[in-house]
Amino acid sequence: MAIDPNILKLYLVTDPHLCAQLGVEKTVEAAVRGGVSMVQLRDKDASTADRIALATRLKPICAQYQVPLVINDDVEAALQSDVDGVHVGQGDMAASLARTKIGTDKILGLSVETVEAAKQTPSNIVDYVGISPIYPTPTKSDHKPPIGFDGLATICAASPVYTVAIGGLKITDCARVMAAGVNGMAVVSAICGQDNPYDAAAGLRRSLDALFL
């Protein structure tokens, strides 16, 4: 599908441990009210059944604010819960197979960590790539060494599809992230780890919107 790149502007990736105090549902609800434009349900330790159950609860929350919901690395959960799409990593299901399974109308994202991977992204299959990691991040232990903002700009320029930056990003990084040429900024702890996810999301969204008046 041809996605609107604006949905990538402020992209929330959930973390069940960081969301433990409020819970994922309340965190997501506050975040989308605050201005998050896309949500990815990510829980590496959950079963497919658990992901389906949580996605089913998150769907009406995201739909109320017209925010797409995708699931990380679990095509079956995405299909069973009928969310808006799926995001896969380089070591997970091949993007071509994921697209075959989810059909042409769902969103498909792909993680890339190198220029070579970005160049090889099939633009007729993948809607956007998540470029990482900008900084070291404790929420994802299997990533490659940090690429920094110069690396982000280089990989972004090599991508044939829309781009999102991820990896330890905070509100103080907004200007440098968007200056690299990406379409959006993905965060985890900058929202999930905060006492007030609404305020955190609203602050991030204001900062990003100010860069593109």
So which residues are the catalytic ones? 42, 111, 140
- Identify each DSSP E strand in 47-151 by its residue range: 69-72, 85-88, 107-112, 128-131
> Is the bond leading into 133 cis (omega within 30 degrees of zero)?
yes
Beta pairing class for 10-13 and 162-165: unpaired
Q: Please, what is the end-to-end C-alpha distance for the chain in angstroms?
A: 27
The helix (H) or strand (E) run that includes residue 41 is strand 38-41
Q: Are 204 and 187 in contact (CB under 8 A)?
A: yes
Closest CA to 35 of 205, 212, 172, 207: 205
